[in-house]
């Protein structure tokens, strides 16, 4: 892999602890595979609790100097990090595609998207203003200060190996926190390359730690540590709930970006071309392996058949293959388990009456993009994240029926709808139970907007001004007796 990079120094294969690149104490490693071929592309240290505790100790030691640096200085380092990431886009995208599988063009777009969080927080980090509050007596002054939370921990998933990391690291560092990251076992190399660039940008030793290894051991050490004041986790709702429980004894601040079950409502008055494009964007990005992927496409009866025909044509034309091949739009799913899960969900839907209307050519390690109609709420794919390239269509009659179907889930991350009626746009936008709602668009993730969910999709927000706020504590200073 290293030979394919212009900057071979980006191929880091060790963990980052206290500014040093280290192996696991026991010398053991974890192999990382290319999901398109099953070939091992490299190995990373199989660290556990001891290495994590050392990274936390280094972060604690580095905290006083880092938080004392003026915000513009910290943000200048972030600005350099952003520039270095953008300059290394091609190499980073090659690493990302090799370990995650998504098409190179999508990997490049993810690197740019990842950098956009660094750029955003390099600016936003200089605006953590406090305020003075009018006091009830003449001899008192009340000041409200924003202070860094302290030592933080982050755990990230494999589906967006760069963006899920910068979305946490950039606001943490901008706020004056230090942070220890555990990337997903299947995609550690993008994380380590980002760490290398952070060091080159001037992030001091210990301020950022990256520990690869056993999830339960590393996560256990992070949650057990009283030094860690905040845990930011992106991943499944089940693991999020477990980490919340583990964090309870030390009362950590929690930021949880969890699973979703996003609906896309297509109303009779939608612009058909626009609705099909929104569905393709929100369904097939990253082969459907996204927390904000459209899991249920709810189509009103009057536009149903025309929409299905148009989307079916798009699905049949999707090009599936290894992410490194030119023109490929859908890469492999992350592993055998993911492929089996999608196949089971499709079989379950067909057993319960769904029709497979269209399918793109695909074989071997690649799951074919599919279009299913006749979906109903008792099917598994209605209740769980498909996390694959399967567009599942439900038919509804009235706006009220559509809304009831859309909200009939314990999740509340993203929701989308297509209409050209302004009155409906307001009504539905307000009624959808989700942290993010897209009207006539399948793209809702931008660095300047708050990203996150309600219900069982999580706590807190990433991006926007809210994303910085997660890493800040509020202190009220009461002054009296000075005059």
- How many residues contact ligand NAP, by CB under 6 A? 29
Alpha carbon separation from 87 to 109, 113, 117, 167 (Å, rounded): 13, 13, 15, 19
Q: Which of 35, 48, 103, 259 binds ligand NAP (CB under 6 A)?
A: 259
* Residue 362 in contact with ligand NAP, rule: CB under 6 A: no
According to the binding rule CB under 6 A, does residue 193 interact with ligand NAP?
no
- Rounded to whole angstroms, the Cα distance separating 211 from 303 reads 51
Question: How far apart are the C-alpha atoms of 448 and 446, rounded to whole Å?
Answer: 6
The number of angstroms, rounded, from the C-alpha of 422 to the middle of its chain's C-alpha atoms is 31
Of 113-121, 213-221, 319-327, 349-357, the window that binds ligand NAP (rule: CB under 6 A) is: 213-221
- What is the CA angle 275-279-285, rounded to 5? 145
| Catalytic center residues | 257, 291
* Cα–Cα nearest to 80, from 165, 177, 199: 199
Tokens for 300, please give them.
């009103």
Looking at the Cβ atoms of 239 and 308, the one nearer to ligand NAP is 239
Q: C-beta of 59: minimal distance to ligand NAP in Å?
A: 18
Token readout for 155 is 């755990």
CA 271 to chain centre: 30
Q: Which stretch binds ligand NAP (CB under 6 A): 234-242, 279-287, 310-318, 364-372?
A: 234-242
Choosing from 88, 198, 258, 333, the residue that interacts with ligand NAP (CB under 6 A) is 258
- Residue 242 is a binding residue for ligand NAP (CB under 6 A): yes
347 near ligand NAP, judged by CB under 6 A: no
Among 37, 126, 185, 383, binds ligand NAP (CB under 6 A): 185
Judged by CB under 6 A, which of 52, 82, 159, 178 binds ligand NAP? 159
Min dist. Cβ of residue 217 to ligand NAP (A)? 8
- Compute how many other C-beta atoms are within 10 angstroms of the C-beta atom of residue 364: 10
Q: Which is nearer to ligand NAP, 399 or 470 (CB)?
A: 470
260 binds ligand NAP, rule: CB under 6 A: yes
Residue 99 binds ligand NAP (CB under 6 A): no
C-beta of 223: minimal distance to ligand NAP in Å?
A: 8
Q: What is the DSSP string of 78-111?
A: HHHHHHHHHHTHHHHHHHHHHHH---HHHHHHHH
Q: Which is nearer to ligand NAP, 189 or 267 (CB)?
A: 189
- Cβ proximity of 419 and 267 under 8 Å: yes
Task: Choose the stretch contacting ligand NAP; rule: CB under 6 A; options: 43-51, 199-207, 252-260, 368-376.
Answer: 252-260
- What region does 327 belong to: left with phi over 0, alpha with psi -120 to 50, or beta? left
Minimum distance from residue 451 beta carbon to ligand NAP (Å): 6
For residue 445, list its beta bridge partners: none
Distance CA(331)–CA(68), nearest Å, equals 45
Write out the two tokens for 76.
Answer: 């200048």
CA-closest candidate to residue 142, choices 431, 400, 474, 472 = 474
Q: Does residue 414 sit in helix, strand or coil?
A: strand
- Shortest Å distance, C-beta 461 to ligand NAP: 10
Smallest gap, in angstroms, from Cβ of residue 274 to ligand NAP? 25
Q: Which is nearer to ligand NAP, 322 or 452 (CB)?
A: 452
Contact between 385 and ligand NAP (CB under 6 A)?
Answer: yes
Residue 101 within binding range of ligand NAP, rule CB under 6 A: no
Give me the least distance between CB of 284 and ligand NAP, in Å please.
16
- Residue 293 to residue 290: CA distance in whole angstroms: 5
Q: Which is nearer to ligand NAP, 103 or 235 (CB)?
A: 235
CB 267 within 8 A of CB 405: no
CB atoms within 10 A of CB 423: 8
Interface contacts to ligand NAP, rule CB under 6 A: 155-160, 164, 182, 184-186, 215-216, 219, 234-236, 239, 242-243, 257-260, 291, 385, 413, 453, 458
């Amino acid at each position: 892999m290293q030979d394919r990079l212009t900057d071979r120094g980006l191929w880091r294969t060790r963990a980052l602890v206290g500014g040093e690149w280290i192996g696991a104490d026991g010398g053991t490693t974890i192999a990382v595979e290319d999901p398109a071929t099953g070939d091992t592309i490299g190995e990373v240290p199989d660290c556990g609790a001891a290495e994590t505790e050392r990274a936390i100790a280094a972060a604690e030691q580095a905290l006083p100097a880092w938080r004392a640096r003026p915000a513009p200085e910290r943000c200048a380092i972030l600005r350099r990090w952003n520039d270095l990431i953008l300059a290394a886009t091609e190499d980073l995208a090659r690493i990302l595609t090799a370990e995650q599988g998504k098409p190179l063009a999508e990997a490049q777009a993810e690197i740019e998207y990842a950098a956009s969080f660094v750029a955003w927080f390099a600016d936003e980090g200089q605006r953590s203003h406090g305020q003075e509050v009018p006091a009830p007596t003449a001899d008192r002054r009340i000041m409200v200060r924003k202070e860094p939370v302290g030592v933080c921990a982050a755990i990230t998933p494999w589906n967006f190996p760069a963006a899920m990391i910068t979305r946490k690291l950039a606001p943490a560092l901008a706020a004056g926190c230090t942070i220890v990251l555990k990337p997903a076992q299947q995609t550690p190399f993008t994380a380590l390359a980002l760490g290398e660039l952070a060091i080159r940008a001037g992030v001091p030793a210990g301020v950022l730690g990256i520990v690869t290894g056993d999830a339960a051991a590393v996560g256990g050490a992070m949650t057990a540590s009283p030094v860690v004041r905040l845990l930011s986790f992106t991943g499944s709702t089940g693991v999020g709930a477990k980490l919340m429980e583990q964090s309870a004894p030390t009362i950590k601040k929690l930021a949880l970006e969890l699973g979703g079950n996003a609906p896309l409502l297509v109303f009779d008055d939608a612009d058909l071309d626009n609705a099909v494009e929104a569905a393709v964007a929100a369904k097939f990005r990253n082969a459907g392996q996204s927390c904000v992927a459209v899991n249920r496409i709810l189509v009103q009866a009057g536009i149903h058949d025309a929409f299905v025909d148009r989307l079916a044509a798009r699905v049949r034309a999707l090009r599936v293959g290894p992410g490194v091949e030119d023109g490929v739009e859908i890469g492999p799913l992350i592993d055998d388990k993911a492929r089996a899960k999608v196949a089971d969900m499709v079989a379950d839907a067909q057993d319960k009456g769904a029709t497979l209307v269209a399918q793109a050519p695909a074989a071997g390690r690649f799951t074919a993009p599919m279009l299913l109609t006749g979906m109903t709420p008792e099917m598994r794919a209605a209740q769980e994240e498909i996390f694959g390239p399967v567009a599942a269509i439900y038919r509804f009659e009235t706006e009220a029926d559509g809304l009831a179907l859309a909200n009939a889930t314990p999740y509340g991350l993203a929701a989308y709808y297509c209409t050209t009626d302004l009155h409906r746009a307001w009504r539905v936008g307000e009624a959808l139970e989700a942290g993010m709602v897209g009207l006539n668009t399948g793209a809702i993730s931008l660095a300047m907007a708050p990203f996150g969910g309600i219900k069982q999709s999580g706590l807190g927000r990433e991006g926007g001004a809210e994303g910085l706020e997660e890493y800040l504590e509020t202190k009220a200073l009461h002054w009296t007796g000075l005059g």
